[in-house]
């Protein structure tokens, strides 16, 4: 995970209350680390996937993702909302942890494994608890990276 998630792409507390706001904030932090791709385009890519069905998978988790032409390596961003945001999750509950993933257009099996690993990390109650209890951005990042790299 440390290869794809950078501390600069961790949002300790979302300042929004809905899906569009969450995706917009994530698009901004992801685009900031990309050359020649604006946040508006990243937002469009994330919404393209959301139109197929919510990536709010339940238990307070969402994993929005999409493929970006010209991207050479996967990129991830993590955001947390202690209050929860409306994300149209499958269980109808608010989302507290959002892990966005951008993949190259030609995503390999290894790239898809990253998505599966993120899913596993966020579904583990102990991992979610550590992520929710993190007091600052660095500890939130470390909780995500250490748990994921330990899978």
Active-site residues, by number, are 65
How many residues in the chain? Answer: 151
Euclidean distance between the first and final Cα of the chain, in Å? Answer: 10
- Rounded to the nearest angstrom, the gap between the alpha carbon of residue 93 and the centroid of all alpha carbons in its chain is 17
With beta carbons less than 8 A apart as the criterion, state whether 102 and 68 touch: yes
With beta carbons less than 8 A apart as the criterion, state whether 5 and 77 touch: yes
Q: Is 14 left (phi over 0), alpha (psi -120 to 50) or beta?
A: beta
Beta bridge partners of 146: none
């Amino acid at each position: 995970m440390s290869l794809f998630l950078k501390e600069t792409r961790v949002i300790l507390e979302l300042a929004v209350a809905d899906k569009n706001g969450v995706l917009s904030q994530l698009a901004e932090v992801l685009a900031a680390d990309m050359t020649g791709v604006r946040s508006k385009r990243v937002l469009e890519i994330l919404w393209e996937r959301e139109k197929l069905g919510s990536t709010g998978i339940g238990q307070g988790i969402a994993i929005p993702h999409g493929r970006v032409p010209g991207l050479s390596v996967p990129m991830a961003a993590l955001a947390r909302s202690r209050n929860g945001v409306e994300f149209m999750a499958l269980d109808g509950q608010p989302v507290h942890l959002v892990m966005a993933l951008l993949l190259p257009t030609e995503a390999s099996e290894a790239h898809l494994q990253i998505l599966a690993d993120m899913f596993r990390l966020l579904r583990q109650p102990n991992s979610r608890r550590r992520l929710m209890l993190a007091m600052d951005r660095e500890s939130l990042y470390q909780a995500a990276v250490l748990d994921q790299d330990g899978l």
